[in-house]
Structure 1
């Protein structure tokens, strides 16, 4: 189970990633990165390796345009990458088994009254997040945040017909199963959105751990190849971070673009997934 120390560690990691990305062409060395986050090279190396499983130098390769482009070229379509991952021995090794149920706004208005949403604040390798679940333990919100009050406000606004109960001990039972690549117990997600948003979010679940696809690939998969703006909007409104992996969608140029919960966090998650996948494949 992650603790408040995870938040402190991640804040340093995020600061280091920002520095690495800014100076990627110069290939900063360990001493330079450590100095930027006000740690000794020894302590920074230990912190980073504990967090990512690899050294900062190896992690840098996952942040380059060349690496992203190679992954995109390898993954011509979402259907092919999903099939290949299923056939591969390690392709789905880290994927959490997630089932998704969706409801439209009209369906929620008819059925949401009288239900209770339980929520709690928890820690993970990427900082603090708010986790909300239904009475039958379906995850309905997972969002990273800077201000806890705003995250709670967004939760209440989205699930306006339901009552809210702060119950971190209840959500903690679910939180303990998240961000664990070797967890093989199924997780259920309940999301509210338009039919098109639900279709896009279902497509996101097909992107394997450690891989990336372009917005164009998602648009083609949902039979709307010219609807990049609509697809981008739907991805940006994903209410369940990490589990519905909108972070695995990048520009076709290989650039890691904006993310609802911060571009640096998106880079951190992608690098973290790539490094753990690489480590497992080398065993």
Structure 2
């Protein structure tokens, strides 16, 4: 592919030139983004975490597993899974009657992301069913109103659920630090525990753990690849 066609294709997909993309990845730009996000985050978090989270115009409802379901690791639960294309690579999605329980990206082999899905509910039954997951996919990635509400069925500790709910209040195009996230859930100084909860997120993109970066402006790691994290952040910054 010629440099001209590469630049044109890149700009059609991302919305900006490759040069601007590289500028976005600098530490100084990340620090500026953190500063610019503070006012937005204060408004988003100002009313607390009791209200519903949203994606586009869609309400997101969180249903956590019961203590019994947590203890027996999903025994007697049935989930359906399917793979779909996205702007950020292929995504494996899984859901049951109570909502979406897993969403993970991958670029090459499927083995790791399938193992990641199965370890969340090791005693549950998983069956492939594209039709069951299609409404979720179309609502999340195609922004089509195929669902009136988007239910999430999450397996995590009370602390993890609280962190994930706070993540869903970070607006598209904004970022926060781990310290910011710890403060908003009422646990200042628990940055390391918050980081562990962020890394344990079972539903990529929808629970936007990619919007958390280090206080010094370093983008940091991402369970589904640091390059993908930067691509999603840039996409959101120019498509909000």
Q: TM-score range by the shorter chain?
A: 0.7 to 0.9
Structure 2 CA distance for aligned equivalents of residues 71 and 158 of structure 1:
33
Q: Which moved more, 1:224-233 or 1:166-175?
A: 166-175
Residues 1:81 and 1:257: Cα distance change in structure 2 (over 3 Å): farther
Equivalent of residue 135 in structure 1, options 78, 88, 97: 97
Equivalent of residue 54 in structure 1, options 16, 24, 32: 16
Offset, 1:96: 5.1
Structure 2 CA distance for aligned equivalents of residues 223 and 110 of structure 1:
30
Structure 1 CA distance for aligned equivalents of residues 221 and 55 of structure 2:
28
The answer to whether the aligner puts 1:197 opposite 2:145 as a matched pair is: no
User: Greater share of helix residues, 1 or 2?
Assistant: 1
Alignment check: 8 A CA contact 1:71 1:211 kept? yes
Offset, 1:53: 2.2
Equivalent of residue 142 in structure 2, options 180, 193, 198: 180
Structure 2 CA distance for aligned equivalents of residues 80 and 148 of structure 1:
39
Could you report, residue by residue, the CA deviation over 1:55-110 in whole angstroms, capped at 9, with x for unpaired residues?
A: 223333422222221221233478514168xxxxxxx8957532222226544346
Equivalent of residue 132 in structure 2, options 149, 167, 170: 170
TM-score norm. by structure 1 comes to 0.74
Q: Which moved more, 1:99-108 or 1:261-270?
A: 99-108
Could you report, residue by residue, the CA deviation over 1:186-243 in whole angstroms, capped at 9, with x for unpaired residues?
A: 3111110011111110110110000000100001111111111111000000000000
Residues 1:59 and 1:181: Cα distance change in structure 2 (over 3 Å): farther
Structure 1 CA distance for aligned equivalents of residues 89 and 110 of structure 2:
12
Alignment check: 8 A CA contact 2:45 2:169 kept? no
Alignment check: 8 A CA contact 2:45 2:184 kept? no
Offset, 1:54: 2.5
Structure 2 CA distance for aligned equivalents of residues 63 and 95 of structure 1:
29
Offset, 1:185: 4.6
Alignment check: 8 A CA contact 1:81 1:207 kept? no
Counterpart of 1:270?
233
The answer to whether the aligner puts 1:255 opposite 2:227 as a matched pair is: no
Alignment check: 8 A CA contact 1:144 1:261 kept? yes
Offset, 1:174: 1.9
Structure whose CA Rg is larger: 1
Could you report, residue by residue, the CA deviation over 1:162-185 in whole angstroms, capped at 9, with x for unpaired residues?
A: 211111232123212222357685
Counterpart of 1:153?
115
Aligned length in residues:
232
Cα RMSD (Å)? 2.6
Structure 2 unaligned spans of 5+ = 47-53
Structure 2 CA distance for aligned equivalents of residues 76 and 42 of structure 1:
38
Structure 1 unaligned spans of 5+ = 1-38, 85-91, 278-283
Residues 1:116 and 1:79: Cα distance change in structure 2 (over 3 Å): same
Counterpart of 1:36?
none
Alignment check: 8 A CA contact 1:78 1:221 kept? no
